Amino acid sequence: MSYTAHRFDPSKILSTSEIAALLSELERRAKRSINSQMNFVLFRLSCCVGLRVSEIASLQLRDVVLTDVRPRIVVRAGKGQKRRKIPLWLDRQTLSEIAAWKVLRESQDAACTDPFICNQRKKSLGQPLSVRALQYRFKTVLAWCLEPGRVEQLSIHSGRHSFASHLLKKGFSLVQVRDWLGHSSISTTSVYLHVDPDEGEEVLDAFQFAG
């Protein structure tokens, strides 16, 4: 079966070299403070898990399932109130960072229904962060490595676009990516089929996806 995809703007997608540079900088900064560590996890949830910003804001500790052979994130109320599961076994480093953050949140006495990403200020510890606050954090992260004009082209939703396009480029099927993104139609997912996010770029194995 063939699918006719509309042209998707590749400028809305982070190339693997951009992602690699950002992950490297995030890892370096994560050692300095808890807020920097949280930014690292936020970036991975967007670019390496494909969550919408609203889904990151509403993510709870119980939604990060690490005990099974196939660790996953459960999205309980995505767009259209759809429940779905996103595998964390695709990328070992993403799994490691998310697992470490869950341990940290549990050490803060967070309950299973408490927010996974939250305010880390002493007086507001554990309070959820707004969508706007998450968008601002993501833009701040981009500005650490990218030129202002490039930052202007991107948003936190670009992480989700990047997740989809890189998975398809690595050979995952439209059906798999559709289900992980929570799209209602495979035609929505197919817009990423003909996008080359690394056109003119050195291709790096930034995601380290399992084969």
Cβ-based neighbour number of residue 148 at 10 Å: 8
Any domain includes 179: no
In whole angstroms, give the CA distance from residue 171 to residue 122: 45
Any domain includes 172: no
Any domain includes 73: yes
Domain with 43 in it: what CATH number? 1.10.443.10
What is the pLDDT, as a whole number, of residue 73? Answer: 96
In whole angstroms, give the CA distance from residue 107 to residue 7: 46
What is the pLDDT, as a whole number, of residue 79? Answer: 64
- DSSP for 34-61, written as a single string: HHHHHHHHHHHHHHTT---HHHHHH-BG
Residue 79 annotated in active site: yes
Catalytic residue among 29, 85, 139, 157: 157
Beta bridge partners of 73: 64, 86
CA dihedral angle for residue 46, residue 98, residue 56, residue 71, rounded to 10 degrees: 90
Single out the residue of 137, 161, 109 nearest to residue 41, CA to CA: 137
Single out the residue of 153, 169, 180 nearest to residue 207, CA to CA: 169
What is the pLDDT, as a whole number, of residue 76? Answer: 86
Which residue stretches of the chain have pLDDT < 70? 1-7, 78-81, 197-211
DSSP assigned state of 128:
B
Any domain includes 154: no
Residue 183 annotated in active site: yes
What is the pLDDT, as a whole number, of residue 204? Answer: 45
| Single-letter amino acid, residue 86 | I
Cβ-based neighbour number of residue 52 at 10 Å: 20
Element spanning 7, H or E: none
Rounded to two decimals, what is the model's pTM? 0.90
Residue 76 annotated in active site: no
Domain count, the chain: 1
Residue 194 annotated in active site: no
Any domain includes 70: yes
What is the pLDDT, as a whole number, of residue 77? Answer: 72
Catalytic residue among 44, 52, 137, 161: 52
Any domain includes 39: yes
Range of the domain at 126: 15-146
Contact predicate 167/52, CB 8 Å: no
What is the pLDDT, as a whole number, of residue 6? Answer: 57
Any domain includes 29: yes
What is the pLDDT, as a whole number, of residue 81? Answer: 61
Residue 52 annotated in active site: yes
Cβ-based neighbour number of residue 30 at 10 Å: 19
Integer CA distances (angstroms), 142 to 18, 28, 39, 123, 150, in order: 9, 15, 11, 28, 9
Any domain includes 35: yes
